[in-house]
Structure 1
Amino acid sequence: MTVKELSKKTWSDFETVLGDNGGARGCWCMHWRLSISEWMEGKGEGNKKAMNRLAQRDPAPGVIVYDGDEPVAWCSLGPRSAFPRLERSPILADLDDTPVCALACVFVHKKRRGSGLLPDILEAVCGYAADAGYTTAEGYPVEPRDGKRAGADTAMTGIASAFLKAGFSEVARPRKDRPVMRRKLG
């Protein structure tokens, strides 16, 4: 697995991974970056344009993950402060003053879901974060209950078992199905 920053050059690969619907319900990975009213107002094309603007800036808002030459996943990442809605979340409140690389969204291409790639995707993303100077990665996966499979709109933050396989440890559990997980980098 390799990663490339989201930019003009990789935009079409981002579109490939997220599909025509922009991930889930026209999100285009703006869920954690906007208030709910802003997100709803931009749902679909507006959110896509907002992410396209972010892709023109430095630092990149995230990375595309490739299996060989095939784009298979997207990870929205950066300091927690890059995700205002995450910062305001009563469920996912900041745990302490540890500077983290927040892995806010880990979205796997529809055709590759359920194939066991998520731990390798997380490994590649953590390598990128370490190279960018982060010392700790933090994720907010879901833990599906009762043997049920999480849908794209709830699994957008990843699945807890894959985080464990990728070397993350649970550091908090603010809700029964929502662990907060960290991994030391570098």
Structure 2
Amino acid sequence: MAEITIRPATTERFADAEHALTGGGDGGSCWCQWFMLTGREFDDTSRDEKRERLRGDLATAPTSALIAYVDDEPAGWVKVSPRPAQPRLARTRNVASSPEPLDAPDVWAITCFVVRREHRKQGLNARPLDAAVRHAREHGARVVEGYPIDTDAKKTSTNELFHGALSTFLDAGFTEVARPGAARPIVSLTL
């Protein structure tokens, strides 16, 4: 059985972050900047600039992401930080439907999962999700939110699953608090 460990994404582990993010899907083009920039800024920022922005993000404390390792190989990624630290969230219909105040610094958001192609369909997202909740709790979160896809309500491509699957969040103890779209619930866990 494979050994799975979760470690903070830091500038010292940037090569591991690159490996985790570039194993399929949009990770290598987005560099986890989708919720960090406005739509226009995102479109006007090159891949290399996004990559360097991520490096800067990982230099802050507490870190805004965690890396999942399978047998010491970087295999997955999860983004978790206070909602106000992810400015594009405030502009989304999903978050606007949240019962929590948009600017609450003690409400953290889990906004991005990446699993390398060779590690998919093994339930790997559950471990980074649990670690993200612990990370948020250790750094003062009162509530952790997610904005997953309900795969029972919509056929979903692998790239769309960067939000996570509703079933994974529910299995981790989150509850649905709003549903601004047919397949787009908001889930919450009070710590």
TM value normalised by structure 1: 0.88
- Which residue pairs with 2:15 in the alignment? 12
1:101 aligns with 2:105: no
CA distance in 2, matches of 1:121, 1:62: 10
CA distance in 1, matches of 2:36, 2:165: 21
SS in structure 2 opposite 1:10?
helix
Cα distance change on mapping 1:132 and 1:91 into 2, 3 Å? closer
Cα distance change on mapping 1:54 and 1:146 into 2, 3 Å? closer
Unaligned runs of 5+ in 1: none
- Which residue pairs with 1:85 in the alignment? 88
TM value normalised by structure 2: 0.86
> 1:18: Cα distance to partner?
0.7
> 1:5: Cα distance to partner?
2.1
Runs of 4+ in 1 over 4 A off after TM superposition: none
Higher helix share: 2
1:37 aligns with 2:48: no
> 1:145: Cα distance to partner?
4.7
Q: For residue 169 of structure 1, what is the amino acid of its counterpart?
A: T
- Which residue pairs with 2:190 in the alignment? 184
CA contact (8 A) 2:94 2:185 kept: no
- Two-structure CA RMSD over aligned residues (Å): 2.2
SS in structure 2 opposite 1:91?
helix
CA distance in 1, matches of 2:59, 2:131: 23
Match of 1:23 among 13, 21, 26: 26
Q: Percent identity?
A: 30
1:123 aligns with 2:127: no
CA contact (8 A) 1:28 1:47 kept: yes
Unaligned runs of 5+ in 2: none
